[in-house]
């Protein structure tokens, strides 16, 4: 699988400089975690990689067409159940039991399969969003603070689930918690405002 290469990319919003000549390589088939202070451009970088924003300068190469995403917001259809939310991206051909198996791996069972996600806790919604992105597949999985709001035991369960089902894919994850880098077994890129700081 190809590396995703970011070369001298810059991005401004009005007078605000978010990224300035940022360069990085995201190894194909491996997990890379991005950390940095709020406002340093982590989410903007993901949006550029996903094609939601256009860079002002520089170039990005190697991003596969087939991708999936866990956004900062859950972006679920609140009136639908967990299984139905995942069916929206997988289609009708995937057996419901296969979807339920994914949800069970994330500790969701029973009523969670069918009751509206509007009745879910924040942590339950987060796990449905993770299951939706991971089960969709794709050559690259983007995750923007995917474990936000999960307690430690649930976070470990979710990280293990992602590692199990995203093995062999390129995974790029934004996090504020260095322990999540360990849980995901990822390489680390630290960002500072307007630039890239270092790799670990």
Question: Mind spelling out the 3-state secondary structure of 71-118?
Answer: CCCCCCCCCCCHHHHHHHHHCCCCCHHHHHHHHHHCCCCHHHHCCCHH
Share of the chain above pLDDT 70, in %: 96
Question: H or E stretch including 120?
Answer: none
Residue 179 has pLDDT above 80, yes or no: yes
Residue 195 has pLDDT above 80, yes or no: no
Residue 123 has pLDDT above 50, yes or no: yes
Residues 113 and 100: beta-carbon distance below 8 Å? yes
Residue 142 has pLDDT above 70, yes or no: yes
Residue 132 has pLDDT above 60, yes or no: yes
Return d(Cα 162, Cα 86) in angstroms, integer: 16
CA distances, 170 to each of 42, 46, 66, 140, 191 (Å): 17, 13, 11, 5, 19
pTM of the model: 0.92
pLDDT at 38: 86
pLDDT at 162: 98
Residue 43 has pLDDT above 90, yes or no: yes
Average pLDDT, the chain: 93
Compute how many other C-beta atoms are within 10 angstroms of the C-beta atom of residue 128. 24
Higher pLDDT, residue 200 or 55: 55
Instruction: Give the residue from 137, 197, 148 showing the smallest Cα distance to 177.
Output: 148
Compute how many other C-beta atoms are within 10 angstroms of the C-beta atom of residue 45. 29
**Radius of gyration over alpha carbons of the chain, in Å?**
17
Residues 174 and 143: beta-carbon distance below 8 Å? yes
pLDDT at 194: 53
How would residue 192 be classed by pLDDT, with cut points 50, 70 and 90? confident
Residue 134 has pLDDT above 80, yes or no: yes
Residue 198 has pLDDT above 60, yes or no: no
Q: 127, exposed or middle or buried, with CB in 10 Å at 0-12, 13-18, 19+?
A: buried
How would residue 200 be classed by pLDDT, with cut points 50, 70 and 90? very low
**For residue range 57-101, what is the model confidence (pLDDT) as tens digits?**
999 999 999 999 999 999 999 999 999 999 999 988 999 999 999
CA distances, 110 to each of 82, 100, 113, 188 (Å): 11, 10, 6, 37
Instruction: Give the residue from 152, 148, 191 showing the smallest Cα distance to 32.
Output: 191
pLDDT at 84: 93
């Amino acid at each position: 699988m190809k590396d995703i290469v970011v070369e001298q990319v810059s991005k401004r919003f009005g007078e605000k400089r978010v990224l300035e000549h940022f360069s990085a390589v995201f190894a194909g088939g491996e997990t890379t975690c991005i950390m940095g202070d709020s406002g340093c451009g982590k989410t903007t970088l993901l949006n550029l990689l996903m094609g939601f924003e256009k860079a002002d300068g520089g170039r990005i190469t190697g991003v596969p067409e087939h991708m999936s995403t866990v956004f900062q917001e859950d972006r679920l259809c609140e009136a639908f159940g967990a299984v139905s939310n995942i069916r929206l991206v997988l289609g009708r051909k995937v057996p419901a039991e296969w979807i339920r198996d994914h949800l069970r791996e994330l500790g969701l069972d029973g009523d969670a399969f069918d009751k509206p996600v509007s009745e879910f806790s924040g942590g339950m919604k987060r796990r449905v969003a993770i299951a939706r992105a991971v089960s969709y597949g794709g050559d690259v999985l983007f995750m923007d603070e995917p474990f936000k709001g999960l307690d430690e035991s649930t976070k470990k369960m979710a990280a293990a689930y992602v590692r199990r089902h995203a093995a062999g894919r390129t995974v790029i994850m934004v996090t504020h918690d260095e322990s999540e880098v360990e849980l995901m077994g990822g390489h680390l890129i630290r960002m500072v405002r307007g630039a890239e700081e270092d790799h670990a």
